[in-house]
């Protein structure tokens, strides 16, 4: 369990309100439907006007295929794709941008994790190796590694998949237990930056010391990129995979960043075909927008909104809030939820609660949230927040929840 270095509190809402109001006004879907509150940004984010305008401009002034033309529009598209690779590396704080590392575009985090599992991992593992993966995180960060194991077994290469250990109380990883698990045959570790159900920052900066300098680490940053500052210089990982569409870019966008320093270089296999040029244009614009808005302030805002919600539910007998319990007390020094709060009503099914909230214009996610095999077995309601959400939306939500 980790203390916050700079603790985000509900007071951040007062301090940041003018900044936030200006940013919220840039989301046409949000301002166009004031009776609705979109509370499902962990699934996908809404898009600011700058991103929408960029896509329209691209399609109306330069649309062509990339990497295969001699004329202006084709060359502009090729330049866009290469520029966006460099933009991704810069946004992530790649310490030596693209000198040795690489950026590969995908349709989202799932495809990114599968690309690492399919195109890199099998070339790296030898018979008898072990890999460590997180079975209580999103299944997109569990199933691809099991598929890789089964594929290798068909070729006579047997590897063992071990479970990344968690601290029971906080749901954070347990670096001491991880260190005990590591052997000279440990060849790969997969982890998650921010948990998509518990909203916990998983403190992944502690993992390198636990596994030592040799083991490649793949980080699922689907819930952190676009939500908080991400700095590859500080995170000594080898792959970072994220969803562009959860970070203000169009649906069908994402990327894998590969350090290419431990094991073979990452070369996505197969025929690559036409890239998602519109999506790539939107990703460049989204990263520009996020950098200008300030990932640290976005984090403070979303964390403060989440704290307003957990403070409001604190002591409400009817609700069980999932994840670290110690962090729920309004005066707790333990890190609070990163814009994601998931709960159950003790008598009303989560599915029914989802419908009730929808009837009040409150759009939440009610289901099992694709958790891996060691995750929650029952459905729950997830509220996930971004910079366009407001304290008033949280109060509206609480007003409904607390009457049930």
Q: Judged by CB under 6 A, which of 16, 89, 125, 140 binds ligand PLP?
A: 140
Q: Is there binding between residue 276 and ligand PLP (CB under 6 A)?
A: no
Which two three-digit tokens encode residue 293? 């808005």
Q: Is there binding between residue 254 and ligand PLP (CB under 6 A)?
A: yes
Give 312 or 375: the residue with its C-beta nearer to ligand PLP: 375
Q: Is there binding between residue 307 and ligand PLP (CB under 6 A)?
A: no
Alpha carbon distance, N-terminus to C-terminus of the chain: 32
Q: Judged by CB under 6 A, which of 87, 114, 196, 345 binds ligand PLP?
A: 196
As a whole number of angstroms, the distance between CA 52 and CA 30 comes to 14
E strands, 212-303, are: 217-220, 239-243, 254-258
Q: How far is the CB of 222 from ligand PLP (least distance, A)?
A: 3
Q: Is there binding between residue 380 and ligand PLP (CB under 6 A)?
A: no
Residues 6+ apart with CB under 8 A from 182: 132, 210, 211, 212, 215
SS3 344: strand
Which two three-digit tokens encode residue 155? 């070729």
Give the interface size with ligand PLP as a residue count (CB under 6 A). 15
Q: How far is the CB of 26 from ligand PLP (least distance, A)?
A: 23
Task: Point out the residue whose Cβ comes nearest to ligand PLP.
Answer: 108
Q: Is there binding between residue 371 and ligand PLP (CB under 6 A)?
A: no
Site for ligand PLP in 39-68 (CB under 6 A): 42-43
Give 45 or 335: the residue with its C-beta nearer to ligand PLP: 45
Q: Is there binding between residue 243 and ligand PLP (CB under 6 A)?
A: yes
Give 81 or 219: the residue with its C-beta nearer to ligand PLP: 219
Q: Judged by CB under 6 A, which of 138, 299, 345, 386 binds ligand PLP?
A: 138
As a whole number of angstroms, the distance between CA 298 and CA 16 comes to 9
Q: Is the dihedral of CA 259, 284, 197, 376 positive or negative?
A: negative
Q: Judged by CB under 6 A, which of 220, 238, 284, 338 binds ligand PLP?
A: 220
Q: Is there binding between residue 282 and ligand PLP (CB under 6 A)?
A: no
Q: How far is the CB of 349 from ligand PLP (least distance, A)?
A: 22
Q: Judged by CB under 6 A, which of 54, 78, 192, 335 binds ligand PLP?
A: 192
Q: How many CB atoms lie within 10 A of CB 202?
A: 27
Cβ proximity of 302 and 266 under 8 Å: no
Q: How far is the CB of 382 from ligand PLP (least distance, A)?
A: 10
Give 129 or 137: the residue with its C-beta nearer to ligand PLP: 137
Give 140 or 189: the residue with its C-beta nearer to ligand PLP: 140
Q: Is there binding between residue 223 and ligand PLP (CB under 6 A)?
A: yes
Cβ proximity of 319 and 345 under 8 Å: yes
Q: How far is the CB of 252 from ligand PLP (least distance, A)?
A: 9
CA nearest neighbour of 89 among 77, 76, 101, 81: 101
Residues 6+ apart with CB under 8 A from 120: 239, 258, 263, 264, 266, 267
Residues 6+ apart with CB under 8 A from 109: 138, 140, 220, 221, 222, 241, 242, 243, 246, 254
Q: How far is the CB of 18 from ligand PLP (least distance, A)?
A: 31
Taking CB under 6 A as the binding criterion, the range among 135-143, 149-157, 227-235, 388-396 that sits at the site for ligand PLP is 135-143
As a whole number of angstroms, the distance between CA 334 and CA 196 comes to 18
Q: Is there binding between residue 109 and ligand PLP (CB under 6 A)?
A: yes
Give the CA count within 13 Å in the CB-facing half-sphere of 242: 28
Give 43 or 50: the residue with its C-beta nearer to ligand PLP: 43
As a whole number of angstroms, the distance between CA 257 and CA 20 comes to 30
Q: Summarize as ranges the residues that interact with ligand PLP (CB under 6 A).
A: 42-43, 108-110, 138, 140-141, 192, 196, 220, 222-223, 243, 254
């Amino acid at each position: 369990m980790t203390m916050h270095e700079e603790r985000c509190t509900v007071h951040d809402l007062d301090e940041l309100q003018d900044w936030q109001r200006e940013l919220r006004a840039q989301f046409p879907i949000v301002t166009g439907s004031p009776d609705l509150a979109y509370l499902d940004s962990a699934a996908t984010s809404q898009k600011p006007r700058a991103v929408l305008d960029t896509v329209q401009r691209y399609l109306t002034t330069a649309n062509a295929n990339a990497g295969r033309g001699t004329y202006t529009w084709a060359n502009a598209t090729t330049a866009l794709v290469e520029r966006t690779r460099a933009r991704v590396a810069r946004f992530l704080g790649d310490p030596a941008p693209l000198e040795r590392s690489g950026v590969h575009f995908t349709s989202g985090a799932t495809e990114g994790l599968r690309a690492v599992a399919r195109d890199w991992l099998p070339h790296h593992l030898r018979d008898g190796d072990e890999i460590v993966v997180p079975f209580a995180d999103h299944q997109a960060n569990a199933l691809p590694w099991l598929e890789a194991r089964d594929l290798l077994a068909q070729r006579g290469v047997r590897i063992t998949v071990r479970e990344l250990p968690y601290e029971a109380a906080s749901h954070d990883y347990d670096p001491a237990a991880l260190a005990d698990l590591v052997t000279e045959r440990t060849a790969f570790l997969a982890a998650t930056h921010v948990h998509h159900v518990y909203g916990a920052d998983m403190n992944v900066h502690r993992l390198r010391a636990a596994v030592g300098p040799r083991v490649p680490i793949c980080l699922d940053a689907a819930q952190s990129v676009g939500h908080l500052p991400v700095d590859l210089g500080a995170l000594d990982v080898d792959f970072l995979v994220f969803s562009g569409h959860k970070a203000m870019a169009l649906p069908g966008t994402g990327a894998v960043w590969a350090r290419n320093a431990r094991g073979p270089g990452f070369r996505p296999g197969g025929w690559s075909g036409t890239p998602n040029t519109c999506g790539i244009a939107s990703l460049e614009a989204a990263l520009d927008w996020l950098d200008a808005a300030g990932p640290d302030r976005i984090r403070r805002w979303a964390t403060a909104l989440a704290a307003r919600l957990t403070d409001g539910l604190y002591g409400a007998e009817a609700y069980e809030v999932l994840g670290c319990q110690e962090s729920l007390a309004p005066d707790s020094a333990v890190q609070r939820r990163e814009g994601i709060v998931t709960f159950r009503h003790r008598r009303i099914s989560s599915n029914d609660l989802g419908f009730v909230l929808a009837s009040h214009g409150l759009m939440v996610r009610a289901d099992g949230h694709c958790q891996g095999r060691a995750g929650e077995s029952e459905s729950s309601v997830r509220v996930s927040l971004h910079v366009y959400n407001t304290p008033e939306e949280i109060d509206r939500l609480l007003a409904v929840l607390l009457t049930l």
